[in-house]
């Protein structure tokens, strides 16, 4: 089987159209997953803390709650629908790349905030 240039171009075009259509759905699903991780992390820290003694709020536990709540908020922003504005001169490839970069930024910011909250929670559980 020999592929011609037109065959390859049409296959790549179809793949790209599917990627553009599914870009928002992947961000939404990732946001739902991150929200679950954030709230579960908060629940695990509170449960472990309550097992050892009555729950007392110190600055590390407060910081853990603030960071984990912020990570849950970031995840909720990821799940909100994003409007694409396409005009006749819009380059779909540039628009797709813009959305991929934005999703990557959300992922890294979420991970940093969640990591700080989890670290503060673990510190609070182990050192108080």
* Tens digit of pLDDT at every position of the chain (128 positions): 565 667 677 777 777 777 766 766 777 888 889 999 999 998 888 888 777 767 677 888 889 999 999 999 999 998 887 777 777 887 777 877 888 888 899 999 999 999 999 999 999 888 86
For tokens 């179809």, name the residue. Answer: 14
- The pLDDT assigned to 3 comes to 58
* First-last CA distance in the chain: 69
Tokens representing 56 are: 């007392």
Instruction: Give the orientation angle of helix 92-127 with respect to helix 5-52, to 10 degrees.
Output: 20
By the 8 A CB rule, do 48 and 116 touch?
no
- The pLDDT assigned to 48 comes to 82
- The pLDDT assigned to 14 comes to 79
- The pLDDT assigned to 128 comes to 66
């Amino acid at each position: 089987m020999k592929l011609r240039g037109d065959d390859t171009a049409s296959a790549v075009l179809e793949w790209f159209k599917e990627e553009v259509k599914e870009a928002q759905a992947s961000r939404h699903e990732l946001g739902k997953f991150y929200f679950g991780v954030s709230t579960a992390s908060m629940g695990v820290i509170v449960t472990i803390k309550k097992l050892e003694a009555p729950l007392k709020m110190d600055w590390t536990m407060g910081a853990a709650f603030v960071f984990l709540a912020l990570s849950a908020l970031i995840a909720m922003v990821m799940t909100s629908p994003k409007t694409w504005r396409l005009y006749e001169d819009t380059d779909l490839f540039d628009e797709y790349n813009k959305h991929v970069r934005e999703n990557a930024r959300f992922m890294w910011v979420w991970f940093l905030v969640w990591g700080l909250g989890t670290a503060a929670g673990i510190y609070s559980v182990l050192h108080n």
